[in-house]
Amino acid sequence: MKRSRLFTMLAATMALVCAFALAACGGSPASDEPADSGSAAASGADNSADITELIVGFDQAYPPYGFVGDDGEFTGFDLDLAAEVSQRCGWEVTYEPIDWDAKDTLLDSGAISCIWNGFTMEGREDDYTFSEPYMLNGQVVVVKADSGIESFDDLAGKTVITQVDSAALDVLEGDQADLAATFASLEQIGEYNTAFMQLESGAVDAVACDLSIAEYQMAANPDAYAQLPDMLSEEHYAVGFKKGNQQLADKVTETLREMDVDGTIEELCNKYAEYGISYDNWVLE
* Separation of alpha carbons 72 and 285, rounded Å: 34
The number of domains in the chain is: 2
Residue 163: give its domain's CATH number: 3.40.190.10
Q: What percent of the chain has pLDDT over 90?
A: 74
139-163 burial: b if 16+ Cβ within 10 Å, else e? bbbbbbeeeebeebebbeebbbbbb
Let me know if residue 113 belongs to a domain: yes
> Could you tell me the pLDDT band of residue 29, with boundaries at 50, 70 and 90?
very low
Can you give the residue range of the structural domain that contains 168?
138-235
Q: By CB neighbour count within 10 A (0-12 exposed, 13-18 middle, 19+ buried), where does 262 fall?
A: exposed
Let me know if residue 45 belongs to a domain: no
Let me know if residue 74 belongs to a domain: yes
> Could you tell me the pLDDT band of residue 25, with boundaries at 50, 70 and 90?
very low
Q: By CB neighbour count within 10 A (0-12 exposed, 13-18 middle, 19+ buried), where does 240 fall?
A: buried
Asked whether residue 64 carries a pLDDT value surpassing 50, the answer given is yes
Let me know if residue 27 belongs to a domain: no
Q: Evaluate if pTM is beyond 0.75.
A: no
pLDDT in tens, 167-184: 999 999 999 999 999 999
CA angle 268, 219, 190 (to 5 degrees): 90
pLDDT in tens, 204-232: 999 999 998 998 899 888 899 999 999 99
| pLDDT number for residue 21 | 38
